[in-house]
Amino acid sequence: QVQLVESGGGLVQAGGSLRLSCAASGDTTCISAMGWYRQAPGKEREFVAAIGWSDGATYYSDSVKGRFTISRDHAKNTVTLQMNSLKPEDTAVYYCNFVGSVRSYWGQGTQVTVSS
């Protein structure tokens, strides 16, 4: 069992920055990757970014590439999403994702709102 807690969401003006963090606890030995998804009003949940836990390889959706950076901290069992040059279309609930060997886990979500 893995528990995920996100933090760092909030309200920011277009062009601003936010930093999201996700802390994992419980049995995390099975970790393969961690990442972030988001869901905007009226839309399906979409992939944002992910990072391989062993190799550190990063992956980004086209909509955020060049603006967002994902990183990991093994000692703290955390993943961070640095979001720069935010746009109103980035407004969504952001969910932390933990990919294990047999199943995935999800955080409760944190709201990010970008005003024009």
Written as one string, the DSSP assignment of 47-70 is EEEEEETTT--EEE-TTTBTTEEE
Q: What percent of the chain has pLDDT over 70?
A: 100
- Nearest by Cα to 97 from 72, 114, 67: 72
How many angstroms separate the CA atoms of 73 and 75, rounded? 6
* Res. 114 pLDDT band, cuts 50 70 90: very high
* Res. 82 pLDDT band, cuts 50 70 90: very high
* Res. 64 pLDDT band, cuts 50 70 90: very high
The per-residue pLDDT of the chain, averaged, comes to: 96
Establish how many alpha carbons lie within 13 A of residue 65's alpha carbon, considering only the half-sphere containing its beta carbon: 7
Mean pLDDT of 74-84: 94
